[in-house]
């Protein structure tokens, strides 16, 4: 490990360490309750490949911590084990993808068996394994012990009654957890509203509907003891009607510090109805009259009509024209705003509470500005347990308007002006004269106003009754600079002067006079107002402003002169400044630039780009008309273009600043400057050129005639490809012999191979492309530009012409690649070696390089698959077929000599069978050093068949038929006589063979045997014991369970001993052997199977008689009952023959006397092998000869 970190550090310093895959999972252990919906997050970083990764979830149960149980996968629907398949399909377990590299595992109904260690695995998309691909976390499932109970009931309450509800919340969780408790109210189908809640951090909070009442102590939540939570609402309101219930949540803190709500319960609800009380009230506003004169008093009475007024709280506010005058709370202390508090302090106004139901507003001296609408508003308030007030219902009556008439005045006003129509910039003078009947009663205040054409009024200046002059807001700056003045010429005469008038000064000038008198209380009051006005119209300076450009010589040639004139209308006085600018747009451009400007103060200012005009241009301005003439001599193409005259009209402002009033642009004047007629001619002859790679391409361009001996030429060389719409530039030589390479030369890397030459004759230009390539084929031509020196010593392009085309074809060498087409067939056994040959008989060039690739066609697969590839750099790579059939490590390549390639497949397997062939590509170097594929060919095919060994398995049961006593043991030996391979493994099974019920027990004849072969096997087979090829035993047969003993006496001899034999063990037995061989991929497969002949086992009862013993043993049965009878018969026949011969000899009779000889037939024995009685021997008489 230490060496690993050192190597990793070195790689990091060299900059070759790339990011490694990291899989992170939610930190555990996680405690969750049964029945809850849980999530576990998992994300991966530092990966390669697509941005969307896949996730696979597994669990390691506590009962089997080493065994992986697969749950769910985002890529494989068959991934879950059977225990989780149904829950995954029903959606109770699913994966939510947050992002491509992040996912959530959801378990909606958590069960106790879901506890364990969870693993999140991400299948690799990297080029190689580097990093971690899985992460684990522990999930603990605990019982849901949270209990939330409350007594269900229905309560009927009256508004303002208190409400108390109890809720029991308890939990038996062993882990450290926090509880949160909340009381909620629900009105019908509306969303529940949180009344008050205690969070897991022991913080009380309420929803917006109850927040104010909680802050005032109207709503409380108290904990009584360890499990009781009490809700108290002190003053119920009609909106509190509905169902109240409590809701509790149990929280646990995860290892990452976050809190998780494991479970949530709610109690049964309590229905609460709230009966509202009658709290309606009426408000009236009264006063004596509606019309008053300045100085008179007025009294307003606000009358309240309601029940139980002394026991209720009311607040009153007074308003004038919707603006607050004063307010009075339940404590009857008035609070006035700033405007009316001064009048109340001087005893001019009073706000008071006359009784519990009458409130008074009294103004002792009315002013004219007191005219308007008056009203009062009454608001009922509710007192909380903390002594604070909450606003309830609010009402107000209709407004009462009053009118305060002023004291009448006897003055008249007259306004006069110096002119009714003026030109912008001239001065305006106005006078305002006041005439009175008798002596003036007081003082005057004067306001000069302007009403524009939109009937908008603006104050210009005013003089108050104390003689102070102030300008209006929009005229303040002009007044400070002396642009506006107001004076009192006589006691009853006032003047207004406006200097340097502007268009916006046009309108109706009004003099507004106000007469003031001092009232009884010493305050000044308005007696009367009079107005008079005079109209003034101002003509804007830009009215009729226009400019025109003219020229008598629109077309000239090089070195000629031309004049331009700019005419301005109308004729302005000298005090009105005008600036004139000549602008120029050269031919071929889209923008104008300034040539020269006559400024408003009479100066001349040249433009930034007018240097070429200064020495050849004369300018003249006529003072009387502001017209400007422009004269240009020695014209050249730089003076060709469009000319335009721009005039600007300016105004001098009151603050000595300048304002541009208008700008006018003249018509366009186009001046054309013509060039000499060209005589350029370029050769149009065409030619065709064909050559082989690496030869030079010689291209010529001939100028046959030119305009002047001083002409210079720019030559552009182009090539046109059939696939291109236009030709591409190769090389450009400018008229001053500068070289510029085109895009085609850069793209095709032609710069090192290009050679340009101008011959001494002057009109011949040559371009040579060295070391030609096939890609150089195309149509070549030159583009010639003729350049001359202009009068201002600048070179200009006079003409251009294109030459004829040269068709160039560059060919590659002819292909001569050829491979051997010999077909072949190979048959080999598994694990042997196969040699495939690929022979190159001929090639195009000895300098070429070859790419050799082997393919295989598999049976039932029409498409070929790549096996291996040898690149032209001699790099050996495996194909896709090598990865499928595990060929990597079993392939190697040899090339004993040039053009011959051998591919060896070691340790072949059956799946390596197929038709093999090689494909060769020949690559040649191009003149630029790049390699290209010149030819390719495919060799003859070789069919390869890989076979498995022939089966040679033979099995025999060594033990003969046997009879054993009950409770004794008998042995079943299984011997393997021959095997197919020394590497074989065996699976051995012993069977008990019984005849099925209803099967024929007799000995069938030949025809019956043929019919029986067509029917199903009548033998019933029961497995005693089975041992697999991996030496793993299967379950014992139920009749023999616990009574079997297995021994392997040798690699080819197996013994099964049946202990404690009983009568049910009687029957036939056989053994079946399966032979397994290893494949080249180290996988085991079954080659064949063989079953032995059956043997019979007889189990005797320990209390059997001699008769039963004899009948049960076939050998003893034949010895006792069968063999004695033939012997006895032969003995009887012998005796009879002896006696017969002796009698014949004594009587001299040899049978001729008619006495028949007694001929005895072979005795016939009838017996049953299962009988309990001895067989019956019968001798039948013979026949007489």
pLDDT in tens, 2-39: 444 443 344 343 343 456 899 999 998 999 999 999 99
The C-alpha atoms of residue 360 and residue 570 are separated, in whole angstroms, by 74
- The pLDDT of residue 437 is 73
Of the candidates 1058, 1050, 1056, the residue with the CA atom closest to the CA atom of residue 976: 1050
Helix ranges restricted to H, 285-438: 338-345
pLDDT at residue 135 greater than cutoff 70? yes
Q: What 3-state class would DSSP assign to 357? A: coil
The model's confidence at residue 1120, banded by pLDDT at 50, 70 and 90, is low
SS (H, E, C) 393-429: EEECCCCEEEEEECCCCCCEEEEEECCCEEECCCCEE
Judge contact between 69 and 83, C-beta under 8 A. Answer: yes
- Which two three-digit tokens encode residue 17? 């360490």
pLDDT at residue 967 greater than cutoff 60? yes
Judge contact between 21 and 45, C-beta under 8 A. Answer: yes
**Dihedral, CA of residue 1124, residue 1130, residue 1135 and residue 1137, to nearest 10:** 170
User: Which pairing describes strands 116-121 and 134-142: parallel, antiparallel, or unpaired?
Assistant: antiparallel
The angle at the Cα of 1012, spanning 1010 to 1014, to the nearest 5 degrees, equals 80
- The pLDDT of residue 1166 is 39
Of residues 497 and 625, which shows the higher confidence score?
A: 497
* pLDDT, tens digit (0-9, with 9 covering 90-100), for 506-536: 999 999 998 887 765 667 777 778 899 999 9
Please give the average per-residue pLDDT across 575-588, as a whole number. Answer: 88
Strand partners, 634: none
**Dihedral, CA of residue 25, residue 26, residue 28 and residue 29, to nearest 10:** -120
Residue with tokens 């070759």: 16
The C-alpha atoms of residue 735 and residue 680 are separated, in whole angstroms, by 15
The C-alpha atoms of residue 992 and residue 975 are separated, in whole angstroms, by 17
Of residues 213 and 1169, which shows the higher confidence score?
A: 213
CA contacts within 13 A on the Cβ side of 518? 4
Peptide bond into 615 cis (omega under 30): no
Lowest-confidence pick of 10-19, 34-43, 418-427, 633-642? 10-19
SS (H, E, C) 497-509: EECCCCHHHCEEE
Burial class of residue 763 in the structure, from the number of CB atoms within 10 Å of its CB (0-12 exposed, 13-18 middle, 19+ buried) = middle
- The pLDDT of residue 296 is 83
* pLDDT, tens digit (0-9, with 9 covering 90-100), for 1053-1108: 999 999 989 888 899 999 999 989 888 777 888 888 998 889 899 988 876 555 55
**Dihedral, CA of residue 81, residue 87, residue 92 and residue 97, to nearest 10:** 30
Please give the average per-residue pLDDT across 538-548, as a whole number. Answer: 87
- Which two three-digit tokens encode residue 689? 């050129």
**Sign of CA pseudo-dihedral 61, 63, 66, 69:** negative
* pLDDT, tens digit (0-9, with 9 covering 90-100), for 439-487: 556 788 999 999 988 888 899 999 888 888 899 888 898 888 888 999 8
The C-alpha atoms of residue 98 and residue 79 are separated, in whole angstroms, by 21
List, as one string, the DSSP characters of 250-263.
EEEE-TTS-EEEEE
Of residues 1104 and 990, which shows the higher confidence score?
A: 990
The C-alpha atoms of residue 701 and residue 717 are separated, in whole angstroms, by 9
- The pLDDT of residue 1104 is 52
Phi, psi for 1011 (deg, rounded to 5): -70, -35
Burial profile 461-496: b = 16 or more Cβ within 10 angstroms, e = fewer: bbbeeeeeeebbeebeebbeeebbebeeeeebebbb
The model's confidence at residue 1159, banded by pLDDT at 50, 70 and 90, is very low
The C-alpha atoms of residue 35 and residue 625 are separated, in whole angstroms, by 101
Please give the average per-residue pLDDT across 139-154, as a whole number. Answer: 93
Q: What 3-state class would DSSP assign to 1115? A: helix
The continuous run of DSSP H or E covering 301 comes out as: strand 298-306
Helix ranges restricted to H, 943-1005: none
The C-alpha atoms of residue 328 and residue 314 are separated, in whole angstroms, by 9
Judge contact between 295 and 406, C-beta under 8 A. Answer: no
The model's confidence at residue 134, banded by pLDDT at 50, 70 and 90, is very high
pLDDT at residue 763 greater than cutoff 70? yes
For 50-187, where are the E strands, in sequence order? 56-60, 69-73, 93-99, 102-107, 116-121, 134-142, 147-149, 153-158, 163-170, 178-186
* pLDDT, tens digit (0-9, with 9 covering 90-100), for 1027-1065: 999 888 888 888 888 899 999 988 889 999 999 898 888
- Which two three-digit tokens encode residue 529? 């107002």
pLDDT at residue 1146 greater than cutoff 60? no
Instruction: Kindly report the length of the chain.
Output: 1185
Judge contact between 801 and 680, C-beta under 8 A. Answer: yes
The C-alpha atoms of residue 954 and residue 979 are separated, in whole angstroms, by 7
User: Structure pTM?
Assistant: 0.35
Average pLDDT over the chain, rounded to whole? 84
- The pLDDT of residue 1152 is 36
- The pLDDT of residue 779 is 94
Of the candidates 295, 184, 192, the residue with the CA atom closest to the CA atom of residue 248: 184
Q: Tell me, what DSSP letter sits at residue 873?
A: T
The model's confidence at residue 873, banded by pLDDT at 50, 70 and 90, is confident
Of the candidates 880, 903, 881, the residue with the CA atom closest to the CA atom of residue 893: 903
The model's confidence at residue 998, banded by pLDDT at 50, 70 and 90, is low
The C-alpha atoms of residue 557 and residue 640 are separated, in whole angstroms, by 10
List, as one string, the DSSP characters of 714-780.
EEEEEEE-TT-SS-EEEEEE-TT--EEE-HHHHHTT-GGGEEEEE-TTSSEEEEEE-S--GGG-EEE
- The pLDDT of residue 760 is 73
- The pLDDT of residue 182 is 95
Burial profile 686-695: b = 16 or more Cβ within 10 angstroms, e = fewer: eeebebebee
**Sign of CA pseudo-dihedral 607, 610, 611, 616:** negative
Helix ranges restricted to H, 559-664: 611-614
* pLDDT, tens digit (0-9, with 9 covering 90-100), for 594-629: 999 988 888 888 888 887 788 788 888 776 666 888
- The pLDDT of residue 508 is 92
Rg from Cα positions in the chain: 63
Laid out side by side, the sheet with 891-894 consists of: 818-819, 834-842, 900-905, 891-894
pLDDT at residue 784 greater than cutoff 90? yes
The C-alpha atoms of residue 884 and residue 863 are separated, in whole angstroms, by 15
Percent of the chain residues past pLDDT 70, beyond the cut:
90
Of the candidates 952, 953, 955, the residue with the CA atom closest to the CA atom of residue 1054: 955
pLDDT at residue 1112 greater than cutoff 60? no
Of the candidates 305, 308, 353, 304, the residue with the CA atom closest to the CA atom of residue 326: 353
List, as one string, the DSSP characters of 527-544.
EEEEEEEEEEEEE-TTTT
């Amino acid at each position: 490990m230490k060496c690993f970190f050192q190597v990793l550090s070195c790689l990091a310093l060299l900059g070759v360490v790339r990011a490694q895959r990291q899989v992170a999972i939610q930190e555990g252990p996680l405690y969750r309750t049964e029945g809850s919906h849980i999530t576990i997050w998992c994300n991966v970083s530092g990966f390669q490949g697509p941005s969307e990764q896949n996730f696979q979830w597994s669990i390691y149960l506590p009962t089997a911590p080493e065994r992986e149980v697969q749950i769910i996968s985002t890529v494989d629907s068959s991934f879950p084990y059977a225990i989780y398949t149904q829950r995954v399909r029903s959606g109770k377990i699913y994966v939510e993808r947050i992002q491509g590299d992040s996912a959530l595992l959801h378990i909606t109904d958590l069960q106790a068996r879901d506890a364990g260690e969870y693993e999140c695995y991400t299948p690799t998309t990297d080029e190689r394994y580097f990093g971690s691909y899985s992460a684990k976390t522990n999930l603990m499932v605990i019982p849901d012990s949270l209990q939330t109970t409350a007594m269900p009931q229905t309560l009927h309450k009256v508004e303002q009654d208190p409400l108390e509800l109890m809720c029991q919340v308890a939990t038996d969780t062993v882990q450290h957890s926090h509880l949160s408790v909340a009381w909620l109210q629900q009105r019908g189908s509306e969303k529940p509203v949180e009344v008050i809640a205690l969070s897991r951090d022991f913080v009380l909070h309420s929803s917006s509907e109850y927040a104010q009442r909680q802050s005032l102590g109207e709503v409380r939540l108290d904990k009584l003891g360890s499990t009781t939570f009490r809700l108290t609402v002190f003053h119920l309101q009609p909106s509190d009607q509905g169902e109240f219930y409590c809701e509790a949540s149990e929280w646990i803190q995860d290892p990452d510090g976050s809190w998780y709500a494991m479970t949530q319960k709610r109690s049964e609800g309590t229905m609460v109805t709230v009966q509202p009380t009658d709290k309606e009230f009426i408000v009236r506003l009264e006063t004596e009259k509606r019309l008053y004169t300045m100085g008179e008093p007025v009294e307003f009475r606000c009358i309240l009509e309601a029940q139980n007024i002394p026991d209720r709280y009311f607040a009153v506010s007074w308003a004038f024209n919707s603006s607050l005058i004063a307010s009075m709370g339940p404590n009857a202390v008035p609070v006035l705003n700033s405007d009316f508090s001064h009048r109340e302090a001087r005893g001019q106004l009073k706000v008071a509470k006359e009784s519990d139901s009458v409130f008074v507003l009294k103004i002792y001296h009315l002013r004219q500005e007191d005219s308007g609408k008056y009203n009062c508003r009454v608001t009922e308030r509710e007192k909380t347990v903390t002594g604070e007030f909450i606003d309830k219902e609010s009402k107000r009556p209709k407004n009462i308007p009053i009118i305060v008439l002023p004291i009448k005045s006897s003055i008249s006003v007259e306004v006069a002006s110096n002119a009714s129509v003026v030109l912008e910039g001239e001065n305006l003078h106005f006078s305002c004269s006041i005439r009175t009947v008798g002596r003036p009663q007081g003082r005057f205040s004067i306001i000069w106003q302007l009403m524009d054409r939109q009937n908008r009024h603006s104050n210009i200046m005013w003089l108050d009754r104390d003689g102070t002059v102030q300008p209006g807001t929009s005229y303040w700056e002009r007044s400070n600079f002396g642009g506006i003045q107001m004076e009192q010429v006589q006691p009853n005469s006032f003047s207004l002067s406006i200097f340097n008038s502007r268009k916006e000064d046009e309108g109706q000038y009004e003099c507004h006079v106000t007469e003031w008198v001092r009232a009884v209380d010493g305050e000044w009051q308005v007696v009367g107002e009079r107005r008079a006005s005079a109209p003034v119209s101002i003509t804007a300076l830009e009215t009729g402003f226009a400019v025109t450009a003219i020229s008598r010589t629109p077309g000239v040639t090089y070195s000629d002169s031309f004049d331009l004139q700019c005419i301005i209308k109308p004729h302005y006085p000298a005090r009105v400044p005008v600036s004139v600018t000549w602008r120029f747009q050269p031919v071929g451009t889209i923008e104008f630039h300034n040539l020269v400007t006559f400024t408003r103060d009479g100066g001349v200012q040249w433009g930034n780009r007018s240097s070429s005009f200064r020495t050849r241009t004369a300018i003249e301005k006529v003072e009387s008309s502001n017209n400007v003439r422009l004269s240009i001599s020695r014209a050249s193409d730089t003076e060709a273009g469009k000319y335009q005259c721009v005039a600007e009209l300016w105004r001098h402002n009151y603050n000595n600043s300048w304002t541009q009033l208008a700008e006018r642009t003249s018509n366009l004047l186009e001046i054309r400057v013509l060039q000499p007629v060209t005589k350029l001619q370029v050769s149009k002859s065409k030619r065709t050129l064909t050559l082989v790679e690496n030869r030079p391409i010689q291209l010529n361009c001939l100028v046959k005639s030119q305009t002047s001996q001083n002409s210079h030429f720019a030559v552009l060389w182009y090539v046109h490809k059939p696939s291109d719409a236009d030709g591409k530039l190769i090389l450009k030589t400018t008229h001053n012999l500068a070289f510029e390479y085109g895009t085609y030369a850069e793209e095709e890397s032609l710069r090192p191979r290009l050679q340009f030459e101008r011959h001494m004759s002057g009109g011949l230009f040559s371009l040579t492309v060295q070391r030609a390539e096939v890609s150089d084929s195309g149509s070549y031509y030159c583009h010639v530009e003729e350049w001359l020196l202009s009068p201002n010593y600048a070179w200009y392009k006079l003409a251009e012409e294109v030459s004829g085309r040269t068709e160039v074809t560059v060919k590659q060498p002819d292909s001569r690649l050829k491979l051997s087409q010999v077909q072949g067939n190979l048959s080999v056994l598994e694990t042997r070696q196969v040699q495939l040959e690929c022979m190159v008989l001929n090639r195009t060039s000895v300098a070429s390089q070859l790419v050799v690739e082997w393919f295989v066609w598999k049976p039932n697969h029409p498409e070929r698959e790549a096996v291996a590839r040898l690149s032209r750099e001699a790099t050996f790579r495996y194909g896709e077929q090598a990865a499928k059939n595990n060929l990597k490590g079993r392939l190697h390549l040899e090339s004993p000599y040039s053009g011959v390639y051998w591919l060896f497949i070691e340790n072949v397997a059956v799946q390596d069978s197929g038709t093999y062939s090689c494909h060769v590509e020949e690559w040649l170097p191009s003149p630029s050093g790049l390699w290209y594929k010149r030819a390719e060919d495919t060799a003859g095919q070789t069919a390869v068949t890989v076979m498995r060994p022939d089966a040679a398995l033979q099995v025999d049961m060594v033990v003969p038929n046997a009879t054993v006593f009950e409770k004794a043991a008998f042995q079943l030996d299984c011997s393997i006589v021959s095997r197919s391979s020394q590497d074989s493994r065996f699976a051995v099974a012993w069977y008990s063979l019984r005849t099925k019920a209803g099967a024929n027990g007799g000995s069938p004849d030949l025809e019956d045997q043929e019919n029986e072969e067509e029917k199903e096997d009548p033998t019933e087979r029961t497995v005693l014991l089975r041992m697999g090829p991996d030496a793993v035993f299967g379950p014992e047969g139920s009749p023999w369970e616990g009574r079997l003993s297995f021994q392997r006496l040798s690699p080819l001899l197996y013994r099964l001993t049946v202990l404690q034999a009983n009568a049910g063990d009687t029957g036939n037995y056989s053994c079946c052997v399966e032979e397994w061989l290893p494949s080249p991929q180290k996988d085991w497969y079954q080659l064949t199977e063989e079953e032995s002949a059956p043997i019979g086992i007889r189990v005797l009862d320990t209390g059997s008689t001699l008769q039963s013993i004899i009948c049960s043993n076939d050998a003893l049965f034949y010895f006792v009952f069968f063999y004695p009878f033939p012997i006895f018969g032969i003995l009887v026949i012998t005796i009879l023959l002896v006696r017969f011969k002796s009698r014949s000899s004594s009587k001299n009779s040899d049978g001729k006397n008619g006495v028949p000889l007694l001929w005895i037939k072979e005795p016939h024995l009838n017996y049953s092998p299962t009988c309990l009685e001895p067989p019956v021997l019968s001798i039948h008489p013979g026949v007489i000869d």
